[in-house]
Amino acid sequence: MITDMSKSLISIQDFSKEEILHVLETAKEFEKNKEQKFLEGKVIGSLFFEPSTRTRLSFETAVNRLGAKVIGFSDASNTSQSKGETLKDTIKMVSNYVDMIIMRHPLEGSSRYASEVASVPVVNAGDGANQHPSQTLLDLYSILQTQGTLENLTINMVGDLKYGRTTHSLLQAMSHFNPKFIFTAPEELKMPKEYKDFLDAKGIEYIETADMEEHIDDCDILYMTRVQQERFTDLMEYERVKDVYRLKASMLAGAKPGMKILHPLPRVNEIDQDVDDTPNAYYFKQAENGLYIRMAIISYLLGYR
Ligand code: CP
- Dihedral angle, C-alpha 23, 2, 65, 116, nearest 10 °: -70
- Residue 180 neighbours by CB distance under 10 Å: 17
Query: Is the predicted pLDDT of residue 19 greater than 50, yes or no?
Result: yes
Mean pLDDT across the stretch 283-303? 97
CB-ligand 1 contact for 124 (6 Å cutoff): no
Q: Ligand 1 centroid vs 71 CA: distance in angstroms?
A: 19
Instruction: Please tell me the predicted confidence (pLDDT) of residue 228.
Output: 81
Distances (CA, A) of 273 to 85, 131, 158, 245, 277: 43, 28, 17, 14, 8
Alpha-carbon torsion 225, 288, 195, 260, what sign? negative
CB 36 within 8 A of CB 27: no
Q: Which amino acid residue places its CA nearest to atom 7 of ligand 1?
A: 53
Q: Ligand 1 centroid vs 267 CA: distance in angstroms?
A: 10
Q: Identify the CA nearest to 68 among candidates 90, 92, 46.
A: 46
Query: Is the predicted pLDDT of residue 83 greater than 60, yes or no?
Result: yes
CB-ligand 1 contact for 289 (6 Å cutoff): no
Query: Is the predicted pLDDT of residue 1 greater than 80, yes or no?
Result: no
Q: Ligand 1 centroid vs 201 CA: distance in angstroms?
A: 30
Please give the sequence-ordered ranges of beta strands (E in DSSP) within the chain, or none if there are none.
43-48, 69-73, 100-105, 122-127, 154-158, 180-184, 206-209, 221-224, 260-262
CB 47 within 8 A of CB 79: no
- Dihedral angle, C-alpha 256, 206, 109, 91, nearest 10 °: 30
| pTM (2 d.p.) | 0.94
pLDDT tens, position by position, 48-71: 999 999 999 999 999 999 999 999
Instruction: Please tell me the predicted confidence (pLDDT) of residue 5.
Output: 54
- One-letter amino acid identity for 16? S
pLDDT tens, position by position, 134-170: 999 999 999 999 999 999 999 999 999 999 989 999 9
CA–CA dist 100, 220 (Å, integer): 36
CB-ligand 1 contact for 54 (6 Å cutoff): yes
pLDDT band at 198 (very low <50, low <70, confident <90, very high): very high
CB-ligand 1 contact for 294 (6 Å cutoff): no
Mean pLDDT across the stretch 251-277? 97
- One-letter amino acid identity for 68? A
CB 189 within 8 A of CB 161: yes
Q: In angstroms, how far apart are the furthest CA atoms of the chain?
A: 56
In a mutational test of the pocket of ligand 1, which residue from 48, 52, 168, 170 has the highest number of ligand atoms less than 8 Å from its CB?
52
CA 21 to the chain's CA centroid: 16
Instruction: Please tell me the predicted confidence (pLDDT) of residue 4.
Output: 46
CA–CA dist 17, 26 (Å, integer): 14
CB-ligand 1 contact for 264 (6 Å cutoff): yes
67: left (phi over 0), alpha (psi -120 to 50) or beta: left
